[in-house]
Amino acid sequence: MIETDRLRLRKYTMEDFDVLYEILSDPETMQHYPMPYNEEWTKKWITWNLDNYEKYGFGLWAIELKETGEFIGDCGITIQNIDGEQLPEIGYHINKKHWRKGYAKEAARACRDWAFNNTDYDTLYSYMKYTNVGSYSTALANGMKKIKEYPDPHNEISYAYAITRDEWEKVIG
Ligand SMILES: CC(C)(COP(=O)(O)OP(=O)(O)OC[C@H]1O[C@@H](n2cnc3c(N)ncnc32)[C@H](O)[C@@H]1OP(=O)(O)O)[C@@H](O)C(=O)NCCC(=O)NCCS
């Protein structure tokens, strides 16, 4: 479990299905993905993360508001193909009811700190479709810099952002 001022990050369970489906099936939320998710893909999202916890010791974690216990989205680390390399990536998905309240930034920073404190990775990444302003703004707010733009069959063009361990040490002082 990771805690921040307002958030608690915990492992997914199958009981998160309904609220996760509300997020992943929403066309506006998924506008930068090839298409919104159906029920089957949403179930696979949870089982993929349960497998990631076993395999890597991390994955996307469910985000709850500490004050109410409400499940509002996810954030965490997964291994992603970024321009042909398998790299540790910080991802985030927030229920649109809660956009622009700083929750993605708060969760992403906590996941970044967790990864540098608990893994040997020397660089962490975030990548997104070039149109996904919310996503790359969150990467910037997480102390990352844009390192490349590259053609991506799923995204037309993807942007990759990164922060090194040395840069992180300066950010956290
Ligand atoms: C991307 C996403 C997670 C951001 O969540 P959020 O909780 O609204 O983000 P925050 O409020 O923490 O904002 C983080 C930073 O991004 C900026 N930001 C967020 N959304 C933005 C938008 N649509 N346009 C411009 N800036 C935006 C905020 O101003 C903030 O920057 P600042 O701290 O420098 O002021 C959310 O929009 C989302 O769930 N999108 C759909 C799923 C998705 O595409 N995920 C990324 C996949 S690559």
CATH of the domain at 57: 3.40.630.30
Tell me the pLDDT tens digit for each residue of 24-80: 999 999 999 999 999 999 999 999 999 999 999 999 999 999 999 999 999 999 999
**Domain span including residue 116:** 2-172
Residue located nearest, by CA, to atom 34 of ligand 1: 141
pLDDT band at residue 135, thresholds of 50, 70 and 90?
A: very high
**Ligand 1 nearest-atom number relative to CA 92:** 3
**Ligand 1 nearest-atom number relative to CA 135:** 1
Q: How far apart are CA 21 and CA 41, in angstroms?
A: 9
Domains of the chain: total: 1
What is the value of pTM for the model shown? 0.98
Q: How far apart are CA 118 and CA 87, in angstroms?
A: 16
Q: How far apart are CA 122 and CA 83, in angstroms?
A: 18
**How confident is the model at residue 173, as a pLDDT?**
86
Beta pairing, strands 2-3 & 71-82: unpaired
